[in-house]
Amino acid sequence: MTRKLGYGDVPEGFDRYENAKIVMVPVPYDGTSTWLKGADKGPAAIIEASRNMYLYDIETDSEVYTWGIFTDEAVREKKTPGTMVDAVKARVATHLVSNKFVVTLGGEHSVSIGSVRAHAEAYRNLSVLQLDAHADLQQEFNGSRYNHACVMARVREVCPVVQVGIRSMDSGEMAAVDPERLFFAERIRGDPDWMERAASLLTDRVYVTIDVDAFDISIMPATGTPEPGGLLWYDVLEFLRRITEDRQVVGFDVVELCPNRYSKHCDFLAAKLVYKLLSYIFTKR
Ligand SMILES: [Mn+2]
């Protein structure tokens, strides 16, 4: 039997479901994005890039793959955004019941709704940390409540959110913002306390959703709606590490990578971001 090409190209045995604490759920969905298409190619690009990473993390002096990393079959439901969300929720829920730690790989941001709903049912007092250029607080967009511009409006229906890196929205969303819980990219620049304040607003159990457009376009041009003025690599890592030290991160997703032919470094950044966050979470355990 030939081995499936899984995340991280982990040594044989560590990639089997029975042995794996960590499960990758790819969701190659791009049904509602509005500008650059191709987020459906994101999960495969992340997995391919991840197979070229070193599996030792210098910072934490750890090899998180030894917890076992299983890469699941992709969720391919795409009749409507709503049926896709339900399919993601059902898939993630089956892994949570089996006591796995689930990483959802998008796909556009609407895939996060299903994953958050599954985690919110499995974990009491969950809050969601969102890293994103966009607030995603539209109640409805282009005729769907599950458009990628509505993600955080749907998430706020199930748990409190903290939004970081935001730098683009419309006036209707601005009215819906909770200013205490939203950290604009331009305002956290040069503010030494923002990480502390953002972290303090989270509950003990946290789900993290990372839209890669939170990163600055200089290091992450490969996304559907790139915005200048974003976060940089070490700032994001420092913040994520701080969150994992003070809180229990119970799941996360990385979404909106829209791979292109010219900037493979973006695929690698997303793949490594997944591995870094796993390293932080599991070093603590
Ligand atoms: Mn988003």
Calculate mean pLDDT across residues 92-96.
98
Residue 2 has pLDDT above 60, yes or no: no
What is the distance in A from the centroid of ligand 1 to the CA of 170? Answer: 14
Mean pLDDT of the chain: 95
Q: What does the pLDDT look like over 179-236, one tens digit per residue?
A: 999 999 999 998 999 999 999 999 999 999 999 999 999 999 999 999 999 999 999 9
What is the distance in A from the centroid of ligand 1 to the CA of 92? Answer: 20
The token pair that represents 222 in the structure block: 């490969």
pTM assigned to the model = 0.97
What is the distance in A from the centroid of ligand 1 to the CA of 130? Answer: 8
Calculate mean pLDDT across residues 233-252.
97
Residue 171 has pLDDT above 90, yes or no: yes
pLDDT of residue 190: 87
What is the distance in A from the centroid of ligand 1 to the CA of 166? Answer: 9
* Confidence band of 3 (pLDDT split at 50, 70, 90): low
* Confidence band of 262 (pLDDT split at 50, 70, 90): confident
Calculate mean pLDDT across residues 152-166.
97
Q: What distance separates the 2 farthest-apart alpha carbons in the chain?
A: 56
Burial of 256 (0-12, 13-18, 19+ CB in 10 A): buried
* Domains and their CATH numbers in the chain: 7-284 (3.40.800.10)
What is the distance in A from the centroid of ligand 1 to the CA of 227? Answer: 12
pLDDT of residue 1: 47
Calculate mean pLDDT across residues 16-38.
92
Q: What does the pLDDT look like over 56-86, one tens digit per residue?
A: 999 999 999 999 999 999 999 999 999 999 9
What is the distance in A from the centroid of ligand 1 to the CA of 148? Answer: 6
